[in-house]
């Protein structure tokens, strides 16, 4: 019996996700955010020898959580390349896909990775540690216009212009290299008694840009319709409004932008139909055990014919 590595990452809404996938024991399933393997293990335990599980993760630390089995494979790649990798494995269609988006507990707790405002570390924030662009590159090398767009669009920061001005002024005399240096520079931009929330938004914006997260999510969603069987399930957990908006638009209206397209008879053209019209949220019991589940929203959709 496999056990979840909850010290790496506590799987969010585990039973809701597994129920949402409506697992066929002989089916093929993809976990595009393997991480600690919590969701993957729960899926795998419901498969028989005919079923198979493919997992994706471009963080090399995730390899610590794999197990040996002929019908399980971890692909060390970003999930936005799901179609190409499945094609290489000669898998044309799958029965279900699950994505637990955002940053993992392991990544937040690893001090050297730079994801958390709690620790002093290098401004890194790369999920793929082989990537050339880090948060340090963005803070120090992006021009003011691009920085402004990042903090406005990805952090929804109300005083982004003031924030960018502070960063620009500081980096003229010294390269900003650590999380503490950045926090010391921007602390006077944060509203009183709301510093933690403000810093979290700044770090979120940098993390999204560093890892190209929203573009990767868009690519994943559009490829899901190409690789999913009729009746297959798409299960996605998001943690902030930017992610959830893309997923909601795609599932409800068939497009990332939210634009509705109709056929000659006025029927809405969309590849998936929602299973839950409103996102599911963690139970009170789970909230007590895992505070990170507080911001989680779970959406489930089924592939149309």
**One domain for residues 158 and 133:** yes
Residue 171 lies in a domain: yes
Q: Of 181, 211, 241, which closes a domain?
A: 211
Q: 100: left (phi > 0), else alpha (psi -120 to 50), else beta? A: beta
Q: What is the C-alpha separation between 189 and 180, in angstroms, rounded?
A: 15
* 152 shares its domain with 278: no
Residue 7 lies in a domain: no
Here the tokens at position 280 are 């599911």
**Number of alpha carbons in the 13 Å side-chain half-sphere of residue 122:** 9
User: 38 near 95, Cβ under 8 Å?
Assistant: no
Domain limits for position 154? 111-211
Q: In terms of domains, do 177 and 248 share one?
A: no
**247 lies in some domain:** yes
234 in helix, strand or coil? strand
User: Are 184 and 117 part of one and the same domain?
Assistant: yes
> Are 20 and 91 contained in the same domain?
yes
pTM above threshold 0.85: yes
Query: Would residue 287 count as lying in a domain?
Result: yes
Query: Residues 135, 270: one domain?
Result: no
Please write the tens of the pLDDT for every residue from 252-290.
Answer: 999 999 999 888 888 888 999 999 989 999 999 999 988
Q: Is residue 166 situated within a structural domain?
A: yes
pLDDT in the model for residue 261 = 86
Q: How confident is the model at residue 292 (pLDDT cuts 50, 70, 90)?
A: confident
Residues 99 and 222 in one domain: yes
How many folded domains does the chain comprise? 2
What is the per-residue pLDDT for 262?
A: 87
Does the structure show a pLDDT above 80 at 8? Answer: no
Out of 190, 211, 232, a domain closes at 211
Query: In this structure, what CATH number is given to the domain that contains residue 145?
Result: 1.10.150.170
Whether the predicted pLDDT of 5 surpasses 60 = no
Same domain, 229 and 81: yes
Pick the last residue of a domain from 150, 182, 211: 211
Same domain, 55 and 174: no
Same domain, 240 and 197: no
CATH number at residue 46: 3.40.50.150
259 domain residue, yes or no: yes
- pLDDT for 226 beyond 90: yes
Q: Is residue 6 in a domain?
A: no
In angstroms, rounded to a whole number, what is the distance separating the alpha carbons of residues 259 and 255? 6
Q: Are residues 31 and 98 in the same domain?
A: yes
At residue 154, the pLDDT reads 97
- The answer on pLDDT for 1 being more than 50 is no
In a domain, 217, yes or no: yes
Backbone angles phi, psi at 24, to 5 degrees: -95, 120
Please tell me whether residues 217 and 207 are part of one structural domain: no
């Amino acid at each position: 019996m496999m056990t979840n590595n909850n010290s790496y990452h506590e799987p969010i809404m585990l039973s809701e996700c597994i129920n949402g996938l409506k697992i066929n024991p002989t089916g093929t399933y993809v976990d595009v955010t393997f991480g600690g393997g919590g969701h993957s293990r729960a899926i795998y335990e419901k498969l028989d020898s005919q079923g198979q599980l493919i997992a994706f993760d471009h963080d090399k630390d995730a390899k610590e959580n794999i197990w040996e089995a002929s019908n399980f494979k971890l692909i060390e790649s970003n999930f936005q390349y799901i179609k190409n990798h499945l094609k290489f494995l000669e898998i044309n269609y799958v029965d279900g896909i699950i994505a637990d988006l955002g940053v993992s507990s392991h990544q937040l707790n690893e001090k050297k990775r730079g994801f958390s405002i709690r620790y002093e570390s290098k401004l890194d924030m790369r999920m793929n540690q082989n990537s050339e662009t880090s948060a340090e590159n963005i803070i120090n090398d992006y021009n003011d216009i691009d920085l402004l767009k990042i903090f406005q669009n990805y952090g929804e920061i109300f005083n982004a212009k003031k924030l960018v001005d502070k960063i620009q002024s500081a980096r003229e005399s010294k390269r900003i290299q650590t999380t503490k240096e950045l926090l010391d520079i921007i602390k006077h931009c944060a509203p009183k008694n709301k510093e933690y929330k403000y810093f979290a938004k700044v770090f979120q914006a940098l993390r999204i840009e560093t890892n190209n997260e929203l573009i990767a999510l868009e690519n994943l969603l559009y490829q899901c319709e190409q690789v999913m069987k009729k009746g297959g399930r798409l299960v996605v957990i998001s943690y902030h409004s930017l992610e959830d908006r893309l997923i909601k638009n795609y599932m409800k209206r068939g497009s990332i932008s939210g634009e509705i397209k109709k056929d000659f008879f006025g029927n809405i053209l969309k590849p998936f139909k929602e299973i839950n019209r409103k996102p599911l949220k963690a139970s009170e019991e789970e909230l007590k055990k895992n505070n990170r589940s507080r911001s989680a929203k779970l959406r489930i959709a089924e592939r149309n014919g």
